[in-house]
Structure 1
């Protein structure tokens, strides 16, 4: 793409990234089922935490925040892919596309922020068990969460701010939804400068949050070694849920980013597969991990179902 291309007025984009999918309806139905289960499971987690006063603690507020992030993250792209694959609706208007791009990138950033804060929460719980509730109160947790949302919005504002002023020469998006790379490739300019600009911002967030999580677990391991066997078991159980969630989120993201930066040319199918996995994977794994491995939430769900069954 060069500046010599003739710019056109784009009122809507055509999503062409899923044109080569075999059996699109079957794939779309699978994405639909996973999406619905992920959203419902996260909403249930949120409702249980909100309605139970005993769960109004920093750790559960952070789980609730993660559930909100997961709902936004998966809802930013999944409905569009489902519409393309199942209903054959391949167009999206310009403004909704930019909103989707902003929501998707914000979900991407906030997922990392949420996991980093949860790692810090676990570090405090392990290193300062007797002063934990005085250091990290509900009010401080909420203030920290709001602050991170504001910081996330500021970072993500770079995306629409760099795209909106640019003239467009194409209306077909090469990827499965309105992400930054897809929209930028429809413009008449050389995208390399903008890719590099955004890559710096995203790499900083990606690697700084990951390094912060790793350092938190180095501290956790140090304090666990100094603890009794019973405390070690309890700490390990508490941290395992978070480790599962971190692994589930960062694995496809790192794979996609590292392969791209190394110059490995991915097929469109491989890229779409990694992107869909990074969107839907954490959103459906997170609520079930915290439901099954957090005994307070698990017992609350079990007791609720028992009450429903006995009332019938």
Structure 2
């Protein structure tokens, strides 16, 4: 029920009103017809009460009474109309109930999407999280994501994935690392568990990626840590809470593989999250969208399913984070 209410809240309407509007669109003027049938039925019933009174007077042969035949006709007409209106109202109402149930069933099948208020709350939460980043060969600086955006003019891509997936994605980013510096884009990597466990530690504190050897792991970590476009999440508990909420959203949207493939959250420097995606990102496309080269995305309220999912660990994956 909670998920249904959140879904309907996307439109700014209550679930009941949302279903009424969809039902009305399916069967136009049904509410008006029900009102008319009800009004006719009530009017005819009142007329029938009057006609019965007149019939009694006719049976008593009162001087001012209508002819008996006329009184009987009036009673028959009034109660006939009332019965017909009642039958039409019952029939139309049954159709309405069937339509309402169909609307509820359709709404229950609709994927969960973040409401406007929920999106804004997540944007504020992410903006308040701390990161550390390199400002020189041997110097690092700490700041909130908000300061990174507003004072540093940086876009941010949060990438949360199991160690192996994260290492592959970050190494893929190194191939086009000049793309990030040129467009003021930073990546915040965060390691999560590959199963159903909660989010784990930030990438910088994890000893090793996947099943690689210690030597390979050390080389990869050193290479990744040296990049100026990497903003390392600090205060892992705060980041874990945020990432867990995002993972839960992805699962509620039908993406049960989110904890295995990883998720990406793309935040523009104005503080708006313009895209949420699954799996390994296409860095060029993401940067192009951040800088406005590909227009504004409308995927900020739901996780885009993986495209062409496949390939084992270490294999080339075509999953695309929009």
Q: TM-score range by the shorter chain?
A: under 0.3
* Larger proportion of strand: 2
* Larger proportion of helix: 1
Structure 2 length normalisation: TM-score? 0.20
Tell which structure's C-alpha radius of gyration is larger.
2
